[in-house]
Amino acid sequence: MIEPEDGRVAKTILVVEDNDLNLRLFCDLLAAHGYRPEAVQDGRDVLARAQAVLPDLIVMDIQLPHVSGLELIEAIRGDADLAAIPIMAVTAYAAKGDEERIRLAGVDAYVPKPVTVTRFLEAVRGLIGAAG
């Protein structure tokens, strides 16, 4: 765990992504910039992990096996403990209207795949500020 020099706990980011490589890349990138990533690969674990961690931000892949990111966003927004946590959707373009549906579900940022490092970090900083 990374502790900023002033003693505050690093901002925690729940990273939901089923793809091994993307999950590793997102988590490494966030850790390298002073955030504390919490990886979740199985969408079915998201609500329990979010309740346990109460992250500062949730990075949500939309295309997941078992449960869609859109359903998870709706569940998070409907949960009293989690509703106020910013959500950044990360998704490949799928069908016309998908981005609007995802935005209407209550995400705070929408980052299309393929994700560039610059765009990813700008979106994170835009939502929760720099790490330290």
Residues that bind Mn ion (CB under 5 A): 18, 61, 63
CA 14 to chain centre: 5
Taking the complex as a whole, the smallest distance from the CB of residue 9 to Mn ion amounts, in Å, to 29
| 42 DSSP 8-state letter | S
CA angle 113, 117, 122 (to 5 degrees): 95
Taking the complex as a whole, the smallest distance from the CB of residue 80 to Mn ion amounts, in Å, to 28
| Distances from the Cα of 4 to the Cα of 8, 19, 31, 36, 105, angstroms | 6, 29, 12, 11, 33
| 44 DSSP 8-state letter | G
Which residue, 26 or 35, has its beta carbon nearer to Mn ion? 26
Which residue, 38 or 61, has its beta carbon nearer to Mn ion? 61
Which residue, 10 or 59, has its beta carbon nearer to Mn ion? 59
| Alpha helix stretches (DSSP H) within 1-132 | 20-32, 46-53, 69-77, 98-104, 117-128
Taking the complex as a whole, the smallest distance from the CB of residue 7 to Mn ion amounts, in Å, to 36
| 68 DSSP 8-state letter | -
Taking the complex as a whole, the smallest distance from the CB of residue 91 to Mn ion amounts, in Å, to 8
* Nearest position to Mn ion, beta carbon: 63
